[in-house]
Amino acid sequence: MQRIGVFVCHCGSNIAATVDVKKVVEMAAREPSVVHAEDYPYMCSEAGQAKIAQAVAEKGLTGIVVCSCSPRMHEATFRKAAERAGINPFMVEIANIREHCSWIHKNIEEGTEKAIILARAAIAKVNLNAPLFPGESRVTKRALVIGGGIAGIQSALDIADAGYEVDIVEKTPSIGGRMAQLDKTFPTLDCSACILTPKMVEAAAHEKIRIYTYSEVEKISGFVGDFTVDIRKKARSIDATKCTGCGVCQEKCHSKKSLSEFNRGLGTRSAIYTPFAQAIPNVPVIDREACIKFKTGKCGVCAKVCAAGAIDYEQKDEIITEKYGAIVVATGFDTIKLDKYDEYAYNQSKDVITSLELERVMNAAGPTKGHLERLSDGKHPEHIVFVQCVGSRCSDERGKPYCSKICCMYTAKHAMLIRDKYPDVKVTVFYIDVRTPGKNFDEFYRRAVEEYGVNYIKGQVGKVAPQPDGSLLVQASDLLDNKQIKLKADMVVLATAIEPDPSVRPLATMLTASIDTNNFLTEAHPKLRPVESPTAGIFLSGVCQGPKDIPETVAQAGAAAVKAIGLLAKDKLTTNPCTAKADELLCNGCSTCANVCPYGAISYETKLINDHGIREDRRVAVVNNALCQGCGACTVACPSGAMDLQGFSNRQIIAEVDAICR
């Protein structure tokens, strides 16, 4: 039996004006287990809190009910007061007789009656409260950043600058990501590489940052503050400690026909290669599928020409196991496959390309050395047609329902750059809407139209048909003039929808991080916690969370870093004790609870259970208190009632229901 003290606050006249406080005290005192009841003008004041301490000391209270304002206001205050008085803080319940009572009921009889009932409900609940103790878990002061694009680099730099160790895992041979593939950036037209490479160098040189390129995350276990991660460092076939990055091996390599991933398949590379000139690390990789030595056992020219003796054909994949306190996901995006869009003739004509491919074409290091030319015959184009929203804002299953957000701006950029460099080339853009929210964005788009004479047509392209003379016939609708038009073009550029990099799906499973129907990682709250995953300790950086441009990506990367730093700065994590708990004797081990847990907090163990003398091995649910956030979804899903929520237990809520309906 509890010994409960009830403290009724007047809140000046806020409560006392429409609730007869004395009557509430009188009625509360009659409730079972209530051994003390009093009222006070301001319970939250120092003097009010002292009343609690005094009553605890004099009457040996084990539970406290404060009838006052909303628990959202002062629950923490009274819990601390209880703790100071020597009572477990979770033995305190608040009856909200201000916001939910005195402020909305003008009739004092009504208000008083309701306040009494609310007090009874709180008393009934406290009767069943049990002391709860926040747990503690340690924090490994190292962060993992998955993905080495601009998002990952920025997050890593920010975390490292705060003094914490960071590892970047990048699946390709170099960091840099999509931004490294871009030619210029909107709306300032800076050279992308020029602003990215200093960041790459800074990351590589940072004493707190380790970079694992050509590596993938293979296994993740643990939880916030204490993740254990296996990283597979794929065999590069090069001893990175010996390689000087001279590049002779790449020149001499006999296999030069592989399509360059960096150039989006528009050019070729050698079997031993670095993806691009500024790659970091500047250590090549042997593509074992393409290498003659690996295919036939003959060749070995790279080993012969390598003065440093860095070539190692015997190198094997290596698994590195490391502990981390926080994980930043920055897996970025790719463009969608266009296989289902036959109408654009992407697979039929070399002169129909995606915007990302155009970036490579425009780039001085690209397949055409930066000259704008048709990829089919190398001729200078006279007319280029851009098609917006290819697969974006798409209602059928071929594309994506969302706006890819960056296409309007980069298309304006492309159009402007082409018109600037080649004033003789005619540029037409087909669009559904032009979306230019962002600093200096609309101005930029208007310059493309007004200063550079880019022809924008509102309408959708229905078909691109390659013609016998090598040109492309573009059939489209002009929605403003309400007519069908046919244009002859030399090149067609498709603003292809972006989607999360496919690697994010298995990664999300490993992280137990939730993912939406479009494979974007879900944020903990769409407005208030946009850079955190609902799974504690996982932070979201860049396009893995949703489409965004470079400045937004960098901003989010910084925000994710700050959240990670906030976590790493703690020596220990205090866990919310209002977590779910499974009664092993009742648990069926049916997995229903784990199916509804948004945090992956429930796992199953086979344990020897002594059920009233019957000893047997049973599969039972185990809740990880560091992960559980206390939503209670599992408690209702559980058919046997084995799963209960501490602080909001079945019996506590039922007691409140009974008190209200009595």
For 268, 286, 299, 440, the CA distances from 292, given in Å and listed in that order, are 16, 10, 6, 51
Task: Convert 516-553 into a string of H (helix), E (strand) and C (coil).
Answer: CCCCCECCCECCCECCECCCCCEEECHHHCCCCCHHHH
Residue pointed to by tokens 């073009």: 489
Residue selected from 372, 375, 562, 586 as contacting another protein according to rule CB under 8 A? 586
Does position 526 interact with another protein (CB under 8 A)? The reply is yes
Residue selected from 63, 111, 176, 367 as contacting another protein according to rule CB under 8 A? 111
Residues 47-76 that bind another protein (CB under 8 A): 70-73
Does position 110 interact with another protein (CB under 8 A)? The reply is yes
Q: Which stretch binds another protein (CB under 8 A): 100-108, 281-289, 362-370, 496-504?
A: 100-108
Does position 524 interact with another protein (CB under 8 A)? The reply is yes
Residue pointed to by tokens 């909305």: 104
Does position 661 interact with another protein (CB under 8 A)? The reply is yes
Nearer to another protein, 113 or 158 (CB): 113
Number of residues that bind another protein (CB under 8 A): 70
Dist. CA 111–CA 430, nearest whole Å: 65
Does position 577 interact with another protein (CB under 8 A)? The reply is no
Does position 505 interact with another protein (CB under 8 A)? The reply is no
Cα dihedral: 119, 125, 130, 135 (round 10): -90
Dist. CA 54–CA 47, nearest whole Å: 10
Measuring CA to CA, which residue among 597, 619, 402 is closest to residue 519? 402
**Structure letter (DSSP) for residue 111:** H
Does position 563 interact with another protein (CB under 8 A)? The reply is no
Does position 98 interact with another protein (CB under 8 A)? The reply is yes
Q: Which stretch binds another protein (CB under 8 A): 215-223, 271-279, 324-332, 633-641?
A: 633-641
Does position 624 interact with another protein (CB under 8 A)? The reply is no
Phi-psi region of 26 (alpha: psi -120 to 50; beta: other; left: phi over 0): alpha
Residue pointed to by tokens 């004092």: 108
Nearer to another protein, 204 or 636 (CB): 636
Residue selected from 17, 50, 372, 633 as contacting another protein according to rule CB under 8 A? 633
Question: Residue 336 Cβ, how far from another protein at the closest point, in Å?
Answer: 22
Nearer to another protein, 14 or 215 (CB): 14
Dihedrals phi, psi of 265, to nearest 5 degrees: 75, 5
Dist. CA 383–CA 579, nearest whole Å: 64
Cβ atoms of 597 and 194 closer than 8 Å: no
Dihedrals phi, psi of 28, to nearest 5 degrees: -65, -35
Does position 118 interact with another protein (CB under 8 A)? The reply is yes
Question: Residue 33 Cβ, how far from another protein at the closest point, in Å?
Answer: 17
Nearer to another protein, 450 or 616 (CB): 616
Residues 73-92 that bind another protein (CB under 8 A): 73
Nearer to another protein, 275 or 500 (CB): 500
Residue selected from 418, 578, 582, 623 as contacting another protein according to rule CB under 8 A? 578
The site map against another protein for 452-471 (x = CB under 8 A) is: --------------------
Does position 651 interact with another protein (CB under 8 A)? The reply is yes
For 281, 519, 547, the CA distances from 331, given in Å and listed in that order, are 19, 12, 12
Residue selected from 436, 475, 514, 519 as contacting another protein according to rule CB under 8 A? 514
Residue selected from 33, 250, 503, 650 as contacting another protein according to rule CB under 8 A? 650
Does position 519 interact with another protein (CB under 8 A)? The reply is no
Q: What value, to the nearest 5°, has the Cα angle with vertex 32 and ends 28 and 33?
A: 95
Does position 640 interact with another protein (CB under 8 A)? The reply is yes
Question: Residue 590 Cβ, how far from another protein at the closest point, in Å?
Answer: 4
Does position 591 interact with another protein (CB under 8 A)? The reply is yes
Dist. CA 320–CA 232, nearest whole Å: 6
Question: Residue 107 Cβ, how far from another protein at the closest point, in Å?
Answer: 8
Q: Which stretch binds another protein (CB under 8 A): 28-36, 336-344, 423-431, 640-648?
A: 640-648
Dist. CA 2–CA 64, nearest whole Å: 10
Does position 589 interact with another protein (CB under 8 A)? The reply is yes
Does position 629 interact with another protein (CB under 8 A)? The reply is yes
Residue selected from 31, 357, 501, 656 as contacting another protein according to rule CB under 8 A? 656
Nearer to another protein, 19 or 175 (CB): 19
Cβ atoms of 520 and 514 closer than 8 Å: no
Q: How many CB atoms lie within 10 A of CB 468?
A: 5
Measuring CA to CA, which residue among 7, 9, 21 is closest to residue 64? 7
Nearer to another protein, 17 or 465 (CB): 17
Three-class secondary structure of residue 364 per DSSP: coil
Does position 595 interact with another protein (CB under 8 A)? The reply is yes
DSSP β-bridge partners for residue 166: 143, 209
Residue selected from 465, 588, 607, 622 as contacting another protein according to rule CB under 8 A? 588
Dihedrals phi, psi of 483, to nearest 5 degrees: -150, 160
Residues 377, 381, 382, 385, CA torsion sign:
positive
Residues for the chain: how many in total? 662
Nearer to another protein, 467 or 640 (CB): 640
DSSP β-bridge partners for residue 215: 233
Measuring CA to CA, which residue among 39, 94, 85 is closest to residue 59? 85
Dist. CA 151–CA 146, nearest whole Å: 10
Measuring CA to CA, which residue among 74, 53, 68, 71 is closest to residue 7? 68
Dihedrals phi, psi of 29, to nearest 5 degrees: -65, -20
Question: Residue 566 Cβ, how far from another protein at the closest point, in Å?
Answer: 19
Three-class secondary structure of residue 570 per DSSP: coil
Question: Residue 18 Cβ, how far from another protein at the closest point, in Å?
Answer: 10
Nearer to another protein, 292 or 653 (CB): 653
Does position 107 interact with another protein (CB under 8 A)? The reply is yes
| Contacting residues toward another protein, per CB under 8 A | 70-73, 96, 98-101, 103-107, 110-111, 113-114, 117-118, 121, 514, 522, 524-526, 534, 578, 583, 585-592, 595-596, 598, 604, 611, 616, 619, 629-633, 635-637, 639-642, 644-645, 648, 650-651, 653-658, 660-662
